[in-house]
Structure 1
């Protein structure tokens, strides 16, 4: 079986307090952290035993995972498994990076978000340049708020040309054509994020070759559709895997709409769907402050 899994355990704590995030500066109890660690170790053990399958794994924690030792360990262990084609995680890049030297950097990748106001620009850029020097696959990006534009331009122009900088449309923000053009100068693919995508009744890879998994092992087609397909650990989900249309009116999150078959994003991001790295380089767009 060829399967992509989006894993999200109980972890919901973060070291940042971004005003656009409901989990800002949230603290998990020791009990929740223990549960999250046990759930992740169970998932990693399951993945290690699936050597007859071909797996791609993206960790999408509500909080920041890489400040926790068990996420770093899981990333390394999974990257070394020959049947894991890719293991990636969404991260604010606030944690250490030396642990990456123990991983297989052909299969490990990072999806890094820069949050202006939460970390000094020079510190984030230094971490990104460190990743590049270590040969780590990664993308970086920002939320497309007006106050972030200058910092995004500055970051785009400082990053190596091969590093893709993406821009997420800010939730609830309607972009004028001029604003959209300014963001597109930073991220040539911003148009895919600008508006939610109509998805009702359209074919999507989720539920067939892509699934989401929670800390209990409950399998759903994606993070945004609550219907259960079965459980990962008893294998009951396998019988439910099949092509099916999307039941939602629209899809407005990259980790969802990237899997819509009506969009060309599997070609755009060929080889880098999970870590949001497009095929081809360079990706420096010659961004300006206009």
Structure 2
């Protein structure tokens, strides 16, 4: 079976405090961090044992995972398993990058977000260049707020041409056509992010070949639909896998709508769906 898993454990702490971030903000206690580590270790051990499947894994933590050693180790270990096609993580790239020397660059990838005001620009760019020097696949993105436009233009000028610069429409922000044109000049795929996608009743790969898993092993079709399909660790989810229409009115997050079968994004991102890298880059 080919299965894509979006894993989100209980980790919620982040070393940044972006005012526009929709994710939870808290300082995890030592007990909470131990629980997150145990949950991730359990998931990694499960993935390692699924040798008859072909797995792709994207870590989408509420907080910043790569400042925690167990997430770095998980990416390294999973990248070296022959039945894992891709392992990627969403990250602010605040961590060091030398640990990637132990990962398989053909399998590991990073989905990086630059947050102006949270880290020096030159430091972020230097880490991007280090990734390139190591042969690591990565994309770079930014939230499309008006005050971020000059930062995005600077990024586009300084990043290698092959590195995709994506722009996420800011939650609750309305874009005029002129505003949207500025962002589309930087990211030709910005129109997919500008407006939520009507999804009710439409076919979606989630729940069939793509699932969401939490720290307890509860399997759902995606992060945005709460109905449970079963549990990863007792195998009960497998009987529930199958084609099903989206039950929500709209889908407004890339990690959701990229899987809609009515959109061409699996072709657009062929070979790089998890790390948000278009085909040919």
Structure 1 unmatched runs, 5+: 282-290
Kindly tell me: are residues 25 and 225 of structure 1, through their superposed partners in 2, closer, same or farther at Cα, counting changes over 3 Å?
A: closer
Asked if 1:124 is matched to 2:121, the reply is: no
**TM-score when scaled to structure 1?**
0.96
Aligned pair count reads: 281
SS state at 1:93 partner: coil
SS state at 1:260 partner: coil
Asked if 1:5 is matched to 2:5, the reply is: yes
2:255 is matched with 255
1:91 is matched with 91
1:278 is matched with 278
Measured after TM superposition, the shift of residue 22 of structure 1 is 4.7
2:232 is matched with 232
- Please say if residues 24 and 62 of structure 2, whose CA atoms lie closer than 8 Å, have aligned partners that are also in contact: no
Q: What CA distance in whole angstroms lies between the structure 1 residues aligned with 2:68 and 2:108?
A: 17
Q: What CA distance in whole angstroms lies between the structure 2 residues aligned with 1:251 and 1:25?
A: 23
**TM-score when scaled to structure 2?**
0.99
Q: What CA distance in whole angstroms lies between the structure 1 residues aligned with 2:63 and 2:23?
A: 7
Measured after TM superposition, the shift of residue 24 of structure 1 is 6.9
- Please say if residues 14 and 24 of structure 1, whose CA atoms lie closer than 8 Å, have aligned partners that are also in contact: no
2:101 is matched with 101
Q: What CA distance in whole angstroms lies between the structure 1 residues aligned with 2:10 and 2:31?
A: 10
Superposition CA RMSD, Å:
0.8
Structure 2 unmatched runs, 5+: none
2:187 is matched with 187
Measured after TM superposition, the shift of residue 280 of structure 1 is 2.0
Measured after TM superposition, the shift of residue 25 of structure 1 is 5.8
Q: What CA distance in whole angstroms lies between the structure 1 residues aligned with 2:135 and 2:52?
A: 29
Output aligned runs, 1:1-290, within 5 Å: 1-23=1-23, 26-281=26-281
- Please say if residues 15 and 24 of structure 1, whose CA atoms lie closer than 8 Å, have aligned partners that are also in contact: no
The Cα offsets for residues 117-140 of structure 1, whole Å up to 9 and x where unpaired, read as: 000111111111110111000000
Runs of 4+ residues deviating >2 angstroms = 22-26
- Please say if residues 53 and 83 of structure 1, whose CA atoms lie closer than 8 Å, have aligned partners that are also in contact: yes
Q: What CA distance in whole angstroms lies between the structure 1 residues aligned with 2:276 and 2:155?
A: 17
